[in-house]
Amino acid sequence: MSEKIIVIENLVKRFPVGEGEFTALSDINLSFEKGEFSGIVGPSGSGKTTLLNIIGSLDSPTEGSCTVMGKRISDLSHKQSAQLRNMHIGFIFQVYNLLPVYTVFENVEFALLLQKRSATARKKAVMEALEWVGLEKMADKKPSKLSGGEGQRVAIARAMVKRPELVLADEPTANLDAKNAHAILQTMKKLNEELKTTFLFSTHDEKVMAYLNRLIHLEDGKVAQDEWVTAKSTR
């Protein structure tokens, strides 16, 4: 039996709006197994990013539960949430969110600094991660000198360098042209296949969907459809 990495039960998320409330997610029941390459898809405002944020312990549910790697998100303290993100979860953002004053190497190294790994171990891991994304020769460059595709590859290396069990990618191709988007997706698919890392996307990009094995359609904060599909392979 496969290991369940994420279990979501009866999850509801409401946000205060003025004097009332807006329900962003309603009655979500999902589970994800280790090694999945899945996506939460749907139009803008459907609650994709909110769900991803809760899974990433950046936010917490209003009702119900979300358990990630055996840890119930709403029960975690700030410190425990940070620990969970630092040790087990990698994030890839739409606008890369690279730290502008750091070099490519330092951006990728950041998560390992938080893990207090030795300088030698950090260097080895960073260079390995940069090799995965084909940017080992750009280690000394600042993010401002990178193209969009390169920036997102650095973000992937940063998410992967600590070998997390789960990578959460929020619209990772939204700012990329088709060629770069495919390159990025192939890189992530390859890492998923080789390292068995679970990838969970939030997207409404058809190009991304083509690579996913499972599509969870969200509409108005509810799961409209949960389907397994035959995805593009890197092979």
Strand order in the sheet with 166-170: 89-92, 166-170, 198-203, 37-41, 214-219, 222-228
Q: Are 213 and 228 in contact (CB under 8 A)?
A: yes
Task: Give how far Cα 64 sits from Cα of 15, 72, 75, 136, 203, Å.
Answer: 15, 10, 12, 44, 24
In angstroms, the CA 182 to CA 69 distance is 30
Told to check if 82 binds another protein by CB under 8 A, we report yes
- Six-digit token string for 234: 């890197």
- Of the two residues 83 and 186, which places its CB atom closer to another protein in the complex? 83
CB-based contacts of 111, cutoff 8 Å, min separation 6: 86, 90, 158, 161, 162
Of the ranges 38-46, 52-60, 191-199, 225-233, which one interacts with another protein (CB under 8 A)? 52-60
Told to check if 14 binds another protein by CB under 8 A, we report no
- Of the two residues 158 and 214, which places its CB atom closer to another protein in the complex? 158
Q: Which of 106, 128, 193, 220 binds another protein (CB under 8 A)?
A: 106
Where do we find the tokens 């040790």? 87
Of the ranges 38-46, 96-104, 125-133, 226-234, which one interacts with another protein (CB under 8 A)? 96-104
Q: Which of 100, 118, 120, 206 binds another protein (CB under 8 A)?
A: 100
Per-residue mark of binding to another protein, 109-138 (x: CB under 8 A): -xx-xxx-----------------------
Per-residue mark of binding to another protein, 149-168 (x: CB under 8 A): ---------x----------
Total residues at interface with another protein (CB under 8 A): 26
In angstroms, the CA 225 to CA 10 distance is 16
Told to check if 91 binds another protein by CB under 8 A, we report yes
What is the number of residues in the chain? 235
- List the one residue out of 135, 143, 149, 162 whose CA is nearest residue 98: 143
**Distance of closest approach, residue 126 Cβ to another protein, in angstroms:** 14
Q: What is the contact surface with another protein in residues (CB under 8 A)?
A: 53, 56, 58-59, 78-79, 82-83, 85-87, 91, 93, 95, 97, 99-102, 106, 110-111, 113-115, 158
